[in-house]
Amino acid sequence: MSKTQEGYLLIADITGYTQYLSRSELEHAQEVLTALLELLVDHTRPPLVLSRLAGDAVISYGLADRFSQGQTFIEMIEDTYVAFRKAIEQMVLNNNCRCNACANISNLDLKFFIHYGVFGLQHLGNHDELVGSDVNLIHRLLKNHVTEKTGCRAYSLYTEAAIRRLGIAEICETMVSHTEKYEHLDEVQVWVQDMHPVWQQKRAASRVTIPPEQTLQEAAVEIAMPPEQLWDYLGRSDFLNIILGASKSEVTNRAHGRVGQGSVYHCYHGEKDNQLVILEWRPFESIITRSPLPLPNTTLLVEMRLAASGRGTRFSQIVSKASGPWPGRTLGDLALKSMAKQMQRDVEAFKARVEADYAARGEAPAADARIDTAKISLAAAESLQPVGGLAQPE
């Protein structure tokens, strides 16, 4: 018996091998696809729940009442794509074989399909099978005219239902509007994000850091949740205020609705507006801001850093030495050193608040997501058969 749920459906689909290969080449292609499927499985992280593999695709879902904010989810998709492209690039660099399978590694790419709707969960063996008309719809969307109409080879396709529920209508200004028509269905409105510019931007981006010799002090705690979900809490002002020591805060200078490099945190301490400019925005890893001090032309850098740990996430707040004229630097560093204990209290209060909220929301249901390499390799082999895989709608 299936249990009806409401939430998000996601298919990550590897594409690129389009010609028949010899037996030896199939072995090499299977090895490559197995490694890439393992990467996608590893990046299927909460609040997403792995459903199953289907050929060269990974199918997952997320329940509505336990899901991330819209920008966080987009960043999860982008992070997965960047990891995929890095893996492809590394395979090409390390490859000396000239068979068709190995020569075509660079042609492999990734597409994401995201829909919101109602679906049933049937627990079969060690996975949750998804059933229902919305499940059928997202599978039908795999056969589309996106590349033909837009030129995008690697993309994220969001249905209108997903866009509305994620609350990312403003972010859609950077996407391409598109419609698909299927037999027995009305036109399906979708929004397409080209993923190649995401990879190019991440690849070329310079990184802002606080060098060890410029670090003045650090406060850290272990928080019992994955980095992806802790990152989502940092996007909520009621939790961010604890770290910033602010009575309230807001963000300006968003780029098409997204917070990122160049955006500004306005942190209010009573009526005083302290403006923190975001210099570094690395989802699930780090946020670095430039903060003014109440001294002429004196600033400092503050980093909020996330790192996966055995207990969940190590969260650190790192403060640099002051920058500016000598008197301001000296007085600023003295003042900041006196605040070390308060910094630690703030991160501990943040930890307590987010862990309490996380526990109150409850754990998402999860099938046994431990898929061994043999099963992943079998899925890769099935995807290389002349007929089958996920190309046919269910």
Q: pTM to 2 decimals?
A: 0.89
116 and 144 assigned to the same domain:
yes
Q: Go through the chain and tell me how many residues it has.
A: 394
- Cβ–Cβ < 8 Å for 49, 128: yes
Distance of alpha carbon 11 from alpha carbon 91, whole angstroms: 24
| Bridge partners, 7 (sequence order) | 63, 117
Give a yes or no: residue 349 inside a domain: no
Residue 3 has pLDDT above 80, yes or no: no
Is the pLDDT reported for residue 183 higher than 90? no
Q: What is the DSSP letter of 76?
A: H
> Is it the case that residue 372 has pLDDT exceeding 80?
no
Per the domain annotation, does 67 fall within a domain?
yes
| pLDDT tens-digit series, residues 222-264 | 999 999 999 999 999 999 999 988 999 999 999 999 999 999 9
What's 179-240 look like in SS3? EECCCCCCCEEEEEEECHHHHHHHHHCCCCCCCHHHEEEEEEEEECCCHHHHHHHHCCHHHH
> Both 197 and 95 in a single domain?
yes
Pairwise pLDDT comparison (216 vs 103), residue with the higher score: 216
Residues 235 and 144 in one domain: no
Are 223 and 187 in a shared domain?
no
Q: Which of 1-10, 74-83, 321-330, 341-350 has the lowest mean pLDDT?
A: 1-10
CATH number of the domain at 196, please. Answer: 3.30.70.1230
355 part of a folded domain:
no
Is 352 part of a structural domain of the chain?
Answer: no
CA–CA dist 84, 284 (Å, integer): 16
Query: What integer pLDDT is reported at residue 388 of this predicted model?
Result: 39
Q: Which amino acid, residue 39? A: L
What pLDDT sits at residue 19?
56
When pLDDT is cut at 50, 70 and 90, the band that residue 289 belongs to is very high
Q: Across all residues in the chain, what is the average pLDDT?
A: 89
Neighbours of 375 (CB within 10 A): 16
Residue 360 lies in a domain: no
257, part of any domain = yes
Do 178 and 247 belong together in one domain?
no
Question: Is the pLDDT reported for residue 51 higher than 90?
Answer: yes
**Which sign, positive or negative, has the C-alpha torsion 268, 273, 276, 281?**
positive
pLDDT of residue 154: 96
Number of other residues whose CB lies within 10 A of the CB of residue 316: 16
Q: 96 and 146: one domain?
A: yes
Same domain? For 88 and 152 the reply is yes
Where do runs of H (alpha helix) occur along the chain?
23-42, 70-93, 100-103, 133-140, 146-150, 160-166, 196-204, 227-234, 237-244, 326-337, 340-361, 373-383
Structural contact between residues 20 and 386, judged by C-beta atoms closer than 8 angstroms: yes
- Residues 197, 215, single domain; the answer is no
**Residue 363 included in any domain:** no
Same domain, yes or no, for 195 and 215? no
**According to the model, what pLDDT value does residue 22 have?**
59
CATH code of 309's domain:
3.30.530.20
| Together in a domain, 170 and 300 | no
- Residue 21: per-residue pLDDT: 60
User: For residue 336, what pLDDT band results from cuts at 50, 70 and 90?
Assistant: confident
pLDDT digits over 70-122, tens only? 999 999 999 999 999 999 999 998 888 878 788 888 889 999 999 999 999 88
% pLDDT > 90, the chain: 67
pLDDT of the residue at 278: 97
pLDDT tens for each residue of 114-161: 999 999 988 877 777 899 999 999 999 999 999 999 999 999 999 999
Q: In which domain, by residue range, is 245 found?
A: 207-338
- Exposure on the CB side of residue 228, measured as CA atoms within 13 A: 22
| Residue 78 within any structural domain of the chain | yes
> Is 90 exceeded by the pLDDT of residue 368?
no
* Residue whose token pair is 């995401």: 198
Do 196 and 215 fall into the same domain?
no
Helix (H, G, I), strand (E, B) or coil at 370: coil
Angle at 72 between CA 301 and CA 164, to 5 degrees: 140
pLDDT at 390: 43
- Could you give the number of structural domains in the chain? 2
Are 273 and 372 found together in one domain? no
